[in-house]
Amino acid sequence: MPAVSSRLPDFPWDKLEPYKATAAAHPDGIVDLSVGTPVDPVPDVIQRALVAAADSPGYPTVWGTAELRDALTGWVERRLGAHGMSHANVLPVVGSKELVAWLPTQLGLGAGDRVAYPRLAYPTYEVGARLCGAEPVAYDTEAFSAAAGGTGLDPAGLKLLWLNSPANPTGQVLAQEELTRIVAWAREHGVLVFSDECYLELGWEADPVSVLHPDVCGGTYEGIVAVHSLSKRSNLAGYRAAFLAGDAAVLGELLQVRKHGGMMTPAPVQAATVAALGDDVHVREQRERYAARRTALRAALEVHGFRIDHSEAGLYLWSTRDEPCWDTVAHLAELGILVAPGDFYGPAGERHVRVALTATDERIEAAVKRLG
For 123, half-sphere exposure in the C-beta direction (CA atoms, 13 angstrom radius) is: 15
CATH (one of 3.40.1160.10, 3.40.50.300, 3.30.470.10, 3.90.1150.10) for 4-41+282-371 = 3.90.1150.10
Confidence of residue 235 (pLDDT cuts 50, 70, 90): very high
Strand bridging mode 90-93 / 224-229: unpaired
Confidence of residue 150 (pLDDT cuts 50, 70, 90): very low
Kindly give, in sequence order, each residue whose CB lies less than 8 Å from that of residue 234, ignoring residues fewer than 6 positions away: 42, 43, 46, 241, 276, 282, 283, 286
d(CA 184, CA 104): 22
d(CA 300, CA 93): 38
Domains of the chain by residue range: 4-41+282-371, 55-277
Strand bridging mode 158-164 / 135-139: unpaired
Confidence of residue 142 (pLDDT cuts 50, 70, 90): confident
d(CA 82, CA 65): 21
d(CA 37, CA 26): 22
Please check the confidence at residue 149 and state whether its pLDDT lies above 60: no
CB 40 within 8 A of CB 363: no
pLDDT mean over 187-209: 97
* pLDDT at 5 (0 to 100): 52
CATH class, 55-277 region: alpha beta
* pLDDT at 344 (0 to 100): 94
Please check the confidence at residue 3 and state whether its pLDDT lies above 70: no
* Model confidence pLDDT, tens digit, residues 270-295: 999 999 999 999 999 999 999 999 99
Strand bridging mode 316-320 / 353-356: antiparallel
* Model confidence pLDDT, tens digit, residues 324-355: 999 999 999 999 999 999 999 999 999 999 99
* pLDDT at 145 (0 to 100): 55
Helix (H, G, I), strand (E, B), or coil: what is residue 293?
helix
* Model confidence pLDDT, tens digit, residues 247-262: 999 999 999 999 999 9
Please check the confidence at residue 4 and state whether its pLDDT lies above 60: no
pLDDT mean over 101-125: 96
pLDDT mean over 168-174: 96
* pLDDT at 12 (0 to 100): 72
Please check the confidence at residue 147 and state whether its pLDDT lies above 70: no
What percent of the chain shows pLDDT beyond 90?
91
